[in-house]
Amino acid sequence: MYADIQPEAVVHLAGRVGGIKDNSSNQVEFFEQNVVMNLNVVAGAHQAGVPRLLGALSTCAFPDVVSKYPFTEDEIFDGPCATTNFAYGYSKRLLHALILAYRSQHKVDYSTFSPSNVYGPGDHFDTDTSHFVPALISKAAKLKDGDTLELWGTGAPLRQQLYVEDLCQIIPLLLTHHHSDDPIIVAPNENLSIDEMAKILISHLNIDVKIVYNNQLDGQHRKDGANALLLQTIGDYNFTSFDSGIKQTYNWYRPF
C-alpha cells in the first residue's frame, strides 16, 4: 500500500476500540490487535520513507489515578492504566513509546496525539460493544413516555466528550503544527458526569423517562486531560458543546 500510494504523510487512526464492557471482556484482543496495527503502520511508513506520521493514542493511555486533574502530557508514564481498559490503554501507551523511539533513533517527524472520548455521526451504535454516548443514543431511540432507561455503573464518573467534527478539524492543524515528543491531549474543557450526559439527551426527547443505574463497571471516576498545550500549538478553538453535539448525533441516528 505504501509503495503504491507513496503518501507524504500518514494519520494513523486505526484501532480495535469499544466501550467499558467490551474492553474488560476482551483484553487480549484489544492488546494484540492494536499492537500489531501500530507496529505495521509505523514500521511500514518508515520503511517506505514516509516523512510525516501522526499517531492517535487515547486518554486511556494515561494513568488511572494522578495527583491532580486535569492531567497533562508529561504524566503519561506516571502510573498504570485503568483496570477496565488496561490492555487497550497500554497498547496506546506503547504506540507513543514506539514513535518516541523512531524519533530518537531515526530523527523522523513522527508524533502523537491523545483524544478524549470521541462521539458523533457515523459512530458504532451496538449497545454491547460501543462507547457510552452511542450506546446511550441507541437505547434512548427506543424509549417512549413512561419508560425506564437502565445504564451501566452509578452515573457518577466524569468524561470529556469530543465531537468527531471537532477532531476532524483539529487533526490537519496538528499535522501542520505538532512536531514535538508530546502526546498532545485533544479534549474540550467540558467534563460532565454520565448522569448529566444522560439527562441532557433525555431533555431533548420530550418524554418522561426514569434513569436507573445497575452499579456495575463504573470505570475510572475521572480521566480529564488539560488542553492548554493543544491550544498553544494550534491556536484558540471553539469546541462543540455536548448539548449541541448529542443533538446532532441523535438526529443523525434517528431524526427528531
Q: Which residues contact 175 (CB under 8 A, 6 or more apart)?
A: 9, 11, 52, 54
CATH (domain of 28): 3.40.50.720
Give me the pLDDT at residue 256, please: 58
Give me the pLDDT at residue 21, please: 77
pLDDT band at 253; cut points 50, 70, 90: very high
Q: Which three cell numbers stand for residue 237?
A: 478553538
CA torsion sign for 170, 176, 182, 183 is positive
- How many domains are contained in the chain? 1
Pairing of strands 161-163, 52-56: unpaired
**Is residue 46 pLDDT above 80, yes or no?**
yes
Domain of 93?
2-253
**Is residue 152 pLDDT above 90, yes or no?**
no
d(CA 225, CA 245): 20
Average pLDDT, the chain: 94
Give me the pLDDT at residue 242, please: 98
Rounded to the nearest 10 degrees, what angle do helices 194-203 and 242-253 cross at?
60
Which pTM value belongs to this model? 0.93
Catalytic choice (88, 110, 163, 250): 88
- For the segment 109-128, what is each residue's pLDDT rounded down to a tens digit? 999 999 999 999 999 888 77
- For the segment 48-93, what is each residue's pLDDT rounded down to a tens digit? 999 999 999 999 999 999 999 999 999 999 999 998 889 999 999 9
Give me the pLDDT at residue 91, please: 97
Whether 88 is catalytic: yes
- For the segment 177-219, what is each residue's pLDDT rounded down to a tens digit? 999 999 999 999 999 999 999 999 999 998 999 999 998 877 7
Q: Find the angle CA(242)-CA(248)-CA(250) to the nearest 5 degrees.
A: 95
Long-range contacts of 60-64 (CB under 8 A, 24+ apart): 60/85, 60/88, 60/89, 60/92, 60/223, 61/89, 61/90, 61/92, 61/93, 61/95, 61/96, 61/114, 61/183, 62/89, 62/114, 62/223, 62/225, 64/220
Pairing of strands 158-159, 192-193: antiparallel
